[in-house]
Amino acid sequence: METPSFVEDHISQIPAIQWLCKLGFEYLTESEELQMRGNKTQQVILEEILRKQLRLINSEKKVSSSRTTYISDANIENGIRSLQEIQLNEGYIHGCEAVYNLLTLGMAVEQSVDGDRKSFTLHFIDWDNPENNKFHVTEEYRVMRSTSRDHYVPDLVLFINGIPIVIIECKRPDMKDPLRQAISQHLRNQQEDGIRSLYVYSQILLSLASQEASYATNGTPEKFWAKWKEKFTSEKDERNYRDELIHIKNSRLGPALNKKLFGERFRYVQEYFEALEGEEIQVTEQDEYLYNLCHPERLMDLIYSFVLFDDGAKKITRYQQYFAVKKTLDRIKYPEKDEKGRLRRKGGVIWHTQGSGKSLTMVMLAQAIAMETSISNPKVILVTDRTDLDRQITNTFRKCGMEVSNAATGSQLVHLLESPSDAVVTTIINKFAAAVKKIQQPLDNHNIFVLIDEGHRTQHGTFNVEMQKALPNACFIAMTGTPLFKKDKSTAAKFGGMIDAYTVDQAVDDGAVVPLLYEGRLPRLDVNSGPLDKYFEMVSEPFSEKEKADFKKKFSRADQINSAEQRIYSICWDVSLHFRDNWKGTGFKAMLVCDKKVNAIKFKEVLDEIGLLSSEVLISPVDDREGEDSAYEQSSDKVQKFWKRMIQEHGTPKKYETQIINRYKNQPDPEIIIVVDKLLTGFDEPKTTVLYLTRNLQDHKLLQAIARVNRVYPDKDFGYVIDYYGVIENLDDAFKMYSAFQAFEEEDVEGTLVNISEEIKKLPQKYSELWDLFKGVGNTRDAEAYQQVLRDEAIRASFYDKLNSFAKSLKLALSTISFHEETEQSQIERYKSDLLFFVKLRNAVSSRYSDRIDYSRYESQIQKLIDTHVTAEEVEPITELVNIFDQESFAAEVEKTVGEAAKADKIASRTAKHIAENMEDDPAFYKKFSQMLSQAIADYESRRISETQYLQKVKDLMNGVLNHTDTDLPDSLREKPVAAAFFGLTSEFLNEKISDQKVGKLISEQASHSIDQMVKTAVFGSGPKAIVDWENKDAITGKLIIEIGDYLIDEVRDKYQLELSFSELDELAVKILEVAKRRYKS
CATH number assigned to the domain comprising residue 335: 3.40.50.300
Q: Is pLDDT above 70 for 561?
A: no
Least confident of 35-49, 250-264, 891-905: 891-905
Query: Is there a single domain that holds both residue 270 and residue 324?
Result: no
- Residue 524 domain-assigned (yes or no): no
φ, ψ of residue 711 in degrees (nearest 5): -70, 145
Q: What pLDDT, on a 0 to 100 scale, did the predictor assign at position 940?
A: 57
Query: Is there a single domain that holds both residue 328 and residue 292?
Result: no
E strands in 481-629: 498-502, 516-527, 589-593, 615-618
Q: What pLDDT, on a 0 to 100 scale, did the predictor assign at position 504?
A: 74
Query: Is there a single domain that holds both residue 229 and residue 338?
Result: no
- Residue 941 domain-assigned (yes or no): no
CB distance 873 to 570 below 8 Å: yes
Over residues 1042-1066, the pLDDT tens digits come to: 888 888 888 888 888 888 887 788 8
Q: What pLDDT, on a 0 to 100 scale, did the predictor assign at position 855?
A: 52
Query: Is there a single domain that holds both residue 291 and residue 343?
Result: no
Query: Is there a single domain that holds both residue 272 and residue 334?
Result: no
- Residue 454 domain-assigned (yes or no): yes
Over residues 189-224, the pLDDT tens digits come to: 999 999 999 999 999 999 999 999 999 999 999 988
Query: Is there a single domain that holds both residue 61 and residue 24?
Result: yes
> Which of residues 429 and 1030 earns the better pLDDT score?
1030
> Which of residues 142 and 896 earns the better pLDDT score?
142
* 595 vs 315: CA distance, rounded Å: 37
- Residue 260 domain-assigned (yes or no): yes
Q: Angle at Cα 714 formed by Cα 710 and Cα 720, nearest 5°?
A: 35
Average pLDDT in the chain: 80
Q: Is pLDDT above 90 for 996?
A: no
Q: What pLDDT, on a 0 to 100 scale, did the predictor assign at position 489?
A: 47
Dump the DSSP string for 145-196.
-TTSS-EE--SEEEEETTEEEEEEEE--TTSSSHHHHHHHHHHHHTSTTS-H
Query: Is there a single domain that holds both residue 363 and residue 418?
Result: yes
Q: Is pLDDT above 90 for 1069?
A: no
Residue at a domain's end among 683, 698, 725: 725
φ, ψ of residue 401 in degrees (nearest 5): 70, 25
Q: Place 159 in a pLDDT band, splitting at 50, 70 and 90.
A: very high
Over residues 683-727, the pLDDT tens digits come to: 888 999 999 998 888 776 777 788 888 888 888 888 888 888 877
* 719 vs 701: CA distance, rounded Å: 17
Query: Is there a single domain that holds both residue 280 and residue 331?
Result: no
Q: What pLDDT, on a 0 to 100 scale, did the predictor assign at position 527?
A: 57
- Residue 1056 domain-assigned (yes or no): yes
Q: What pLDDT, on a 0 to 100 scale, did the predictor assign at position 751?
A: 39
Owning domain of residue 214: 8-297
Through-space distance between the first and last CA atoms of the chain, rounded to whole angstroms: 74
Residue at a domain's end among 678, 699, 725: 725
Range 848-874 average pLDDT: 58
* C-alpha distances out from residue 306 to 104, 359, 850, Å: 12, 13, 64
Q: What percent of the chain has pLDDT over 70?
A: 77
Type of residue found at 735: F
Q: Place 624 in a pLDDT band, splitting at 50, 70 and 90.
A: very low
Over residues 519-556, the pLDDT tens digits come to: 888 777 665 555 555 555 666 666 666 565 565 555 55
Q: What pLDDT, on a 0 to 100 scale, did the predictor assign at position 296?
A: 96
* 866 vs 555: CA distance, rounded Å: 9
- Residue 734 domain-assigned (yes or no): no
Q: What pLDDT, on a 0 to 100 scale, did the predictor assign at position 459?
A: 46
* 742 vs 26: CA distance, rounded Å: 43
Bridge-based pairing state of the strands 516-527 and 882-883: antiparallel
- Residue 718 domain-assigned (yes or no): yes
Query: Is there a single domain that holds both residue 242 and residue 122?
Result: yes
The tally of domains found in the chain comes to 4
Cis peptide before 668 (omega within 30 of 0): no
Residue 135 parent element (H or E)? strand 135-139
Q: Is pLDDT above 70 for 912?
A: no
- Residue 203 domain-assigned (yes or no): yes
CA 1025 from chain centre, in angstroms, equals: 63
Query: Is there a single domain that holds both residue 291 and residue 322?
Result: no
Over residues 450-496, the pLDDT tens digits come to: 888 765 454 444 556 777 777 888 888 888 776 554 444 445 555 66
Q: 399-403, 632-636, 906-910, 965-969: which has the highest mean pLDDT?
A: 965-969
Q: 3-12, 30-39, 809-818, 941-950: which has the highest mean pLDDT?
A: 30-39
Range 307-324 average pLDDT: 90
Residue at a domain's end among 703, 725, 747: 725
Query: Is there a single domain that holds both residue 278 and residue 424?
Result: no
Q: Is pLDDT above 90 for 591?
A: yes
Least confident of 176-180, 451-455, 750-754, 869-873: 750-754
CA-wise closest residue to 718 among 591, 881, 878, 579: 881
Over residues 126-141, the pLDDT tens digits come to: 999 999 999 999 999 9
Q: What pLDDT, on a 0 to 100 scale, did the predictor assign at position 394?
A: 62
> Which of residues 421 and 588 earns the better pLDDT score?
588
Q: Is pLDDT above 60 for 865?
A: no
> Which of residues 950 and 363 earns the better pLDDT score?
363
CB distance 201 to 160 below 8 Å: no
Query: Is there a single domain that holds both residue 91 and residue 228?
Result: yes
CA 251 from chain centre, in angstroms, equals: 45
Q: Is pLDDT above 50 for 677?
A: yes
